[in-house]
Amino acid sequence: MHVSQRRSAGIGLALVSAFAFGGSGVAAKPLIEAGLDPLHVVWLRVAGAALVMLPVAWRHRALVTRRPALLVGFGLLGVAGVQAFYFAAISRIPVGVALLVEYLAPALVLLWVRFVQRRPVSRAAAVGVVLAVGGLASVVEIWSGLSFDAVGLLLALGAACCQVGYFVLSDHAGDGDEPAPPMGVIAYGLLVGAVVLTVVARPWGMDWSLLGGSADMGGTRVAGALLVGWIVLIATVLAYMTGVVSVRRLSPQVAGVVACLEAVVATVLAWVLLREHLSAPQIVGGAVVLVGAFVAQSTTREPPTGSTPGGPGEVVDEPAGETEWLSAAGPTA
């Protein structure tokens, strides 16, 4: 395939991934408001996606003995932790606000690099952190004493912290002579997450009858089974798969820009389908958060000089390194 065609296909796939990820909260919130516990909704999402991804897990079964710690950490933080905190957050605060708080993760990664790993960060990276934090202050309307539920904001921040773990683990996944394949890590992350959430959520106590009924989505009744199907097949399986494939056709920076549209999609869908309106300062603040997140992401993912093919601007057939595919295949939303 011609380079321009590959890039066009990559951008198209990245847009599909951003749209799919961005729709998870909008589909999950009606189920939560209908009476399902947020943990049960997370379990349905992760367990359902894990079943669909079983063939991929079998194909990469060597990972179980080769990188067990990575798979367990990825499942605990990148899957179970992020999703549980995020869904718990949207049960208390608007979907768009929860996702924007979660977009502090790239800025938090920079703090990890600077103060835990004690590595210098660029001036542009520091600007990204300041922008993200300043934008978030506008989103939560800090001048009015926080206009949203404090517990909900803390839960969203918990999701951001778990996403930091996802980024750090993904970076380590690319270490060594034989980097872990992204699709394999995702498949086993979902399996590990499903096992952990089964113990924590105890789905046998869930009110399964709600799935046979309907839930209110902004005044419209939608079948519960349809919402679960969307969360599992579209917002998880399709979102991850298109995200991973898109990065193989794009540079990490381009993929990161498109991935930031996820928050925009989630906010717009919540506005239209759930009637969750944001004020003008919150919209401006959200845009600033996304700009800061992108600056932070792009400055921390630049490969060293002389790196192997697959760096920014190159189009290769080999699987992208972990620090590249996570840009468009993040666990958000």
55-85 per-position pLDDT tens digit: 999 999 999 998 898 899 989 998 899 999 9
pLDDT at residue 269 above 50?
yes
Query: Domain for residue 332, yes or no?
Result: no
pLDDT at residue 20 above 70?
yes
Query: Model confidence over 82-105: pLDDT tens digits?
Result: 999 999 999 998 888 888 888 777
Domain count for the chain: 1
The C-alpha R_g of the chain, in whole angstroms, comes to 19
Query: Model confidence over 209-248: pLDDT tens digits?
Result: 989 999 999 889 999 999 999 999 999 999 888 877 776 6
Instruction: Report how many helices (DSSP H) and strands (DSSP E) the chain contains, helices first.
Output: 19, 2
pLDDT at 39: 94
pLDDT at 323: 41
This prediction has a pTM of: 0.80
pLDDT at residue 327 above 60?
no
Proportion of the chain above pLDDT 90, given as a percent: 35
Q: Which of 157-166, 246-255, 283-292 has the lowest mean pLDDT?
A: 246-255
Q: Is there a contact between 147 and 332 (Cβ–Cβ < 8 Å)?
A: no
Mean pLDDT, to the nearest integer, of 29-35?
A: 94
Mean pLDDT, to the nearest integer, of 146-153?
A: 80
pLDDT at residue 49 above 90?
yes
Query: Domain for residue 142, yes or no?
Result: yes
Mean pLDDT, to the nearest integer, of 4-27?
A: 83
Under DSSP, is residue 236 helix (H, G, I), strand (E, B) or coil? helix
Phi, psi of 217 (to 5 degrees): -120, 90
Query: Domain for residue 333, yes or no?
Result: no
Query: Domain for residue 51, yes or no?
Result: yes
Query: Domain for residue 117, yes or no?
Result: yes
Q: Is there a contact between 213 and 284 (Cβ–Cβ < 8 Å)?
A: no
For every residue of 28-96, DSSP letters joined together read HHHHHHTT--HHHHHHHHHHHHHHHTHHHHHHTTTHHHHSHHHHHHIIIIIIIIHHHHHHHHHTTS-HH
Q: Which of 28-37, 75-84, 214-223, 321-330 has the lowest mean pLDDT?
A: 321-330
Mean pLDDT, to the nearest integer, of 20-44?
A: 93
Neighbouring C-beta atoms of residue 186, cutoff 10 Å: 27
Measured between alpha carbons, how far is residue 217 from residues 73, 227, 278, 280, 296 in Å? 35, 10, 18, 24, 35
Query: Domain for residue 331, yes or no?
Result: no
Largest CA distance in the chain: 58
d(Cα 105, Cα 111) in Å, to the nearest integer? Answer: 10
Mean pLDDT, to the nearest integer, of 106-117?
A: 78
List the structure tokens of 52. 């669909």
For residue 325, the one-letter residue type is W
pLDDT at residue 108 above 90?
no
Range of the domain at 266: 3-325
What's the pLDDT band for 15 if we cut at 50, 70, 90? Answer: confident
pLDDT at 113: 77
pLDDT, the chain, mean? 80
Query: Model confidence over 273-313: pLDDT tens digits?
Result: 998 888 888 888 888 888 887 776 666 544 443 433 333 33
List the structure tokens of 188. 């086993």
Buried b (16+ CB within 10 A) or exposed e, 3-42: eeebbeebbebbbbbbbbbbbbbbbbbbbbebebbbbbbb
d(Cα 244, Cα 238) in Å, to the nearest integer? Answer: 10
